[in-house]
Structure 1
């Protein structure tokens, strides 16, 4: 497919040409292969990241995900840059809304609300991440949906929980990083903690929400019963601090920001070859011994009882790092990379995002491919890391424009014909105009 409508957020940058040069076309799945969530219908009221990425995962698994959007406006995340007018949204929106169909309905109109309830009556799953109380004001809350469809699974992705003293608080990823303690753990000890640029709390909340929904679907398969499921962003953010809370409770001490080193194992951190930086992680004494004796040729250091245990090495981190760095600086990265791989020392070069997605490891797994798009010719796609042998993920379809599938969904799910759709339009179900 050639790109006849090339546009770019950066002068001189041709996305389609870059994709053709650097990334393969997506390889279609085997014809006729089943999908894990084939036949599952999802009504998706989500926006931004935590909700949409959860339903994107379900769409990749084969569910029919119908994204309900307000006419004309749609998901606010469509406006996150870089925005390409021909794709109907920015790159961040495309990233977490593939394999969905968009239907534009005015939820505040009687006709739009009735139509939405008809869709919910046909659904297996409803997912929403509005502020607390919005679904109730729209008349689309769980109790209403349950009466209409007792078997429905209703997943609510909240900020601080749908009940309690903080149910009214808004939740965004960087705030969750700050309040969970996550920011306090990252960075260097001589300055403020640092947030992760990647929306790690939104992404992990999405994964947790999808897991919760899949568990509820298994239960429904056994019992025929639906249920309410909730995943709060803040609760998940605390989980993302890992085992630090238990370490604190066992010792009474707060984690100290270690920069690129590890507070738990040594040596673990960044070193510099003669040409570029890289990371190693000696998670055991055996790995440390292999590094010294078979990679760096430091047998005297390996035999020194002062470095015999991980506890000893943590106490002498600075001198260990200095000795190792003196050796590493003598040769280029490729020299050390091959030796460490052969000997079994975990390591990796420090890459930019662009380097990572073009790396041999990424190409081996087809992590990034190009998929067709009617407006731009091609767009990039970053695949999920799930490899089903018998039910492969469905082929990626680019995120939809606002309401582009309204007629198709109403026909497929509700049996509407052309006159019925036109009548609904006149009655204001799809907004003014």
Structure 2
């Protein structure tokens, strides 16, 4: 049973017209051959946009994140639930020839494939870009890895924390006199997933014009270098390694965390006009805006310690809830330092519908973070529960590639599927 009967399905050359309020990727099929975070995050964004995303997992254990984080009622774990909403799960062992044949069939009638295996892994099973391009020339094949598919580190595994170190991100994060520090979330993974989504959508638009697929190569290392923006420009143009500024800013002064009488608040002054309002209407010290040391941003940057001493002495004289209305009235951005649960349950998060309630088959009704994408004319797909391992195997194999119940049972008995 090494051969699976070849199905006749193929990715449609076009897509039906959308209704005004339908999700923009309705009718687009995504084959998600990815695990852990960056690439699954990309596939989840595509699902939010309306694509039909089929997540392929190994029958033994599935995605590693099914075993990370804390288990909630029903056994599913928080890490997996965070990045796999609105997908279908099929469990296929493609190290077996029958399993690889199933993946080829699914790729033949998919529009997009997302993967993050080690260099050469999928090629060994006949599932690399060139092999699947021969099956489906319109396929958009996106590979996400630590260091890309070319270069001296292409064969290395890539993990967010190590990328944060090697990319220079840790060197600019933390207090000036403290140790280098990583970010509190896996920001390299998250932004790589965003860049991957952007590249896929661009390739999809290109395919609408010329009918051809594409191979996309996204590296966490590359994406994190791109994230340095002005810090990278300072390093390259000034030939000086940037330092750490803690909660302050390398270039824009004043910005930072300051302690009021009852706790910390964070604010950002972005222009000389804002500084004048900040000095007069917030601090009640209008003379600061005319002080030669602070009259423009260059002066404030050169004299940041002197300005910091003045502001620190002033802020400790009132509570945060006395200071914040003054910031608001002056049009200077400021806010309280909240913990994550406070932020997720805040009035702002509620108004923006950033937490969604989802019915889960084993956990019951659960709350998860929703998509930040908002459309006026279109819509997102309604959020669905992250799937159980192999929850949709039979449905997909029967509905997408036409396997009958007997063939599916034989594949399950041979441990090709779960």
TM-score (norm 1): 0.89
Asked whether 1:76 is paired with 2:64, we answer yes
Take 1:256 and 1:180, find their aligned partners in 2: how far apart are those partners? 14
Report the equivalent of 1:217: 204
Whether the 8 Å contact between 2:207 and 2:213 is mirrored in structure 1 is: yes
Unaligned 5+ segments in structure 1 are 1-30
Whether the 8 Å contact between 1:125 and 1:153 is mirrored in structure 2 is: yes
Equivalenced residues, count:
400
Take 1:281 and 1:44, find their aligned partners in 2: how far apart are those partners? 40
Take 2:209 and 2:188, find their aligned partners in 1: how far apart are those partners? 32
Report the equivalent of 1:38: 26
Which residue of 59, 64, 85 maps to 2:47?
A: 59
**C-alpha displacement at 1:132, in angstroms?**
0.6
**C-alpha displacement at 1:83, in angstroms?**
1.9
Q: Kindly report which structure 2 residues correspond to 1:384-423, keeping only aligned pairs within 5 A, or say none.
A: 384-423=371-410
Report the equivalent of 1:350: 337
Which residue of 266, 269, 274 maps to 1:282?
A: 269
Whether the 8 Å contact between 2:29 and 2:53 is mirrored in structure 1 is: yes
What is the CA deviation profile of residues 139-176 of structure 1, one whole-angstrom value per residue up to 9, with x for unaligned ones? 11011100011111110112212123221111000111
Q: Kindly report which structure 2 residues correspond to 1:6-405, keeping only aligned pairs within 5 A, or say none.
A: 33-84=21-72, 86-87=74-75, 89-405=76-392
Report which stretch shifted further, 368-377 or 338-347: 368-377
**C-alpha displacement at 1:85, in angstroms?**
6.3
Take 1:213 and 1:407, find their aligned partners in 2: how far apart are those partners? 28
**C-alpha displacement at 1:86, in angstroms?**
1.5
**C-alpha displacement at 1:32, in angstroms?**
9.1
What is the CA deviation profile of residues 345-373 of structure 1, one whole-angstrom value per residue up to 9, with x for unaligned ones? 11111111111112221111121132111
Report the equivalent of 2:8: none
Whether the 8 Å contact between 1:111 and 1:427 is mirrored in structure 2 is: no
Residues 81 and 314 (structure 1 numbering): CA distance in 2 closer, same or farther, change over 3 Å?
A: same
Take 2:378 and 2:411, find their aligned partners in 1: how far apart are those partners? 38
TM-score (norm 2): 0.92
Residues 32 and 398 (structure 1 numbering): CA distance in 2 closer, same or farther, change over 3 Å?
A: farther
Moved over 3 A (4+): none
Whether the 8 Å contact between 1:126 and 1:154 is mirrored in structure 2 is: yes
Take 2:222 and 2:20, find their aligned partners in 1: how far apart are those partners? 40
Take 2:414 and 2:136, find their aligned partners in 1: how far apart are those partners? 25
What is the CA deviation profile of residues 76-118 of structure 1, one whole-angstrom value per residue up to 9, with x for unaligned ones? 111111123625x311111100110000111122221111111
Take 1:85 and 1:355, find their aligned partners in 2: how far apart are those partners? 23
Whether the 8 Å contact between 1:43 and 1:120 is mirrored in structure 2 is: yes
Take 2:120 and 2:31, find their aligned partners in 1: how far apart are those partners? 18
Take 2:138 and 2:294, find their aligned partners in 1: how far apart are those partners? 60
SS at match of 2:60: coil
**C-alpha displacement at 1:406, in angstroms?**
0.4
**C-alpha displacement at 1:262, in angstroms?**
1.0
What is the CA deviation profile of residues 19-46 of structure 1, one whole-angstrom value per residue up to 9, with x for unaligned ones? xxxxxxxxxxxx9941111111111110
Take 1:98 and 1:111, find their aligned partners in 2: how far apart are those partners? 28
Whether the 8 Å contact between 1:111 and 1:428 is mirrored in structure 2 is: no
CA RMSD of aligned residues (A): 1.6
Report the equivalent of 1:26: none
Whether the 8 Å contact between 1:56 and 1:99 is mirrored in structure 2 is: yes
Whether the 8 Å contact between 1:357 and 1:367 is mirrored in structure 2 is: yes
**C-alpha displacement at 1:191, in angstroms?**
2.6
Unaligned 5+ segments in structure 2 are 1-18
Take 2:105 and 2:63, find their aligned partners in 1: how far apart are those partners? 22
Structure with more relative contact order (C-alpha pairs < 8 Å, separation 6 or more):
1
